[in-house]
A and B are shown apart, each in its own frame.
Chain A
Amino acid sequence: MNLPGIQVLAFLFSCAMAYATYTAYRKHQFGRGSLALWEAIWTLLGTSSIFPGAFAPIASSLRLARLMDLVVVVGMIVLGAIVFQMYLAVAAMQRKLEALVRARTLEVMEEELEREPVVRTARPRARRAQPSASSGTARASSIRGTIV
């Protein structure tokens, strides 16, 4: 079998990634479901790089003129799905981190104020009634500017 260099490179790359995926699984970085998904992706990539003709019927049934078009289209779909998954994961992580940091910040501040109460002079909120903006004689008519 006389394989072009790019096919050999793609095959070696898929093998390396399959090994890296298995190593990550053994380090408990993800579960069996993720292992199966990623190994399937690398196997598919390795197979398609060695036997590109095997996918020709699929390409023709999808009315794609060249096998390369099939690879590009499938690659774009897979990449899009992965990026979307990553976006969701990062956004969720950010929200959790923010909530954690903010809660801890308030907790530490209150602990510090309890230890050194001298800096705190404001009275607790519950001890007095909230002043009303509409009460009293002053009205918004004395205000410069307009309402948003």
Chain B
Amino acid sequence: MVTAAVVIPARNEAERIETVLRQIPRRLPGLARIEVLVVDDGSQDGTGAAARRQGAIVARHEVNLGAGAALSTGTEAAIRLGADIVVHMDADGQHPPAALRRLLEPLLAGADACSAYRGFDGSMPHLLRLGNRFLGLAARALFGVDHPDTQCAYRAFWSRHWPLLAWRATDYSFATEMLVRARRGGLRWTYVRIPTIYLDAFKGTGVSDGVRIFGNLLRWRLIG
């Protein structure tokens, strides 16, 4: 039987993380067990303690390194714990834990990786919708990455692909870098639709992050 680990990067999410953790199913068909691992990325509000109360394993960055670095640490930790499948999920409730089953089904059916995508509808702030579309087009034009939502980090992949996927970006660029690496490595990557949820317009990827991601896309294309 297969073991999965849900890796959640969290920074100052003490208010919401317990609700998210409570909703994560610990057992699903085809899986022996689902571990939950929270990477506390230098929080100052007791996020780690809140996660521990819900039975999560907590790994703490003493200083904030960024979402990409937190997920990188979390993925390595999950693999050390013996996870066959690694799932990335946000700590703020943007990624519905109820969709976990649909996210994992393709992997159990033979896919190498699967990620969620959101509808670019009115639920997504205008500027972020524009930015997401632009970055998706840029990733397609520069690398041939055909994905409806390159910035959605709700993803699952077999841990054996970690050496291929291991991203260097420590910020939000990791989401695109991961897809670029998967594309170059020829991974079978599928996607499933999830509801678009924005609880805090000032958290997550912002305009400056978008500019940085685009800059990184250009850099990866031009320099490698």
Interface residues of A (CB under 8 A from B): 94, 97-98, 101-102, 104-106, 108-110, 112-113, 119-125, 127, 130-131, 133-134, 136, 138-140, 142-148
A-chain residues with CB within 8 Å of residue B81 when the two chains form the complex: 113, 120, 122
Instruction: Flag if B5 contacts A139 (CB, 8 Å).
Output: no
Complex CA distance for A144 and B105, rounded to whole angstroms: 10
Which residues of chain A come closer than 8 Å to B62, judged between CB atoms?
Answer: 101, 104-105
B80 touches A (CB below 8 Å): yes
- The answer to whether B3 touches A123, judged by C-beta atoms less than 8 angstroms apart, is yes
The residue in A123, A133, A136 that gathers the most chain B C-beta atoms within 10 A of its C-beta is A133
Task: Let me know if B133 is at the binding interface, CB within 8 A.
Answer: no
- Asked whether, in the complex, the Cβ of B77 is within 8 Å of the Cβ of A106, the reply is yes
Q: Total A-B residue pairs with C-beta atoms closer than 8 Å?
A: 120
Contact B63 A124 (CB under 8 A): no
Q: A102-B69, A122-B3 are in contact. Are A113 and B57 (CB under 8 A)?
A: yes
Interface SS of B by simple majority:
mixed
Given A140-B188, A140-B190, decide whether A105 and B60 contact each other with a Cβ distance below 8 A: yes
> Would you call A109 and B77 a contact (CB within 8 A)?
yes
A137 to chain B, nearest CB (A): 9
B143 nearest CB neighbor, chain A only: A148
Q: Besides A140-B106, A140-B111, 19 other CB < 8 A contacts?
A: A97-B65, A105-B61, A105-B62, A105-B77, A106-B80, A108-B60, A121-B33, A122-B3, A122-B33, A123-B82, A125-B82, A127-B82, A131-B84, A140-B110, A140-B190, A143-B190, A144-B191, A146-B191, A148-B145
CB atoms of A102 and B72 under 8 A apart = yes
Interface residues of B in 124-142 (CB under 8 A from A): none
Alpha-carbon distance A121/B77, docked complex (angstroms): 14
| B177 close to chain A: CB less than 8 A | no
Q: How far is the CA of A77 from the CA of B135 in the complex (A)?
A: 35
User: Do B110 and A138 have beta carbons less than 8 Å apart?
Assistant: yes
- Whether a CB of chain A sits under 8 angstroms from the CB of B214 is no
Query: Are A106's CB and B76's CB within 8 A?
Result: yes
B187 touches A105 (CB 8 A): no
Q: A108-B60, A124-B82, A133-B158 are in contact. Are A148 and B189 (CB under 8 A)?
A: yes
Residues of B with C-beta under 8 A to A119: 55-57
Report Cα–Cα, A121/B146, bound state, in Å.
37
Taking the closest CB of chain A, its distance from the CB of B48, in whole angstroms, is 11
Tell me the complex Cα distance, A130–B107, Å. Answer: 13
Q: Say which residue of B73, B82, B108 sits within 8 Å of A106 (CB atoms).
A: B73
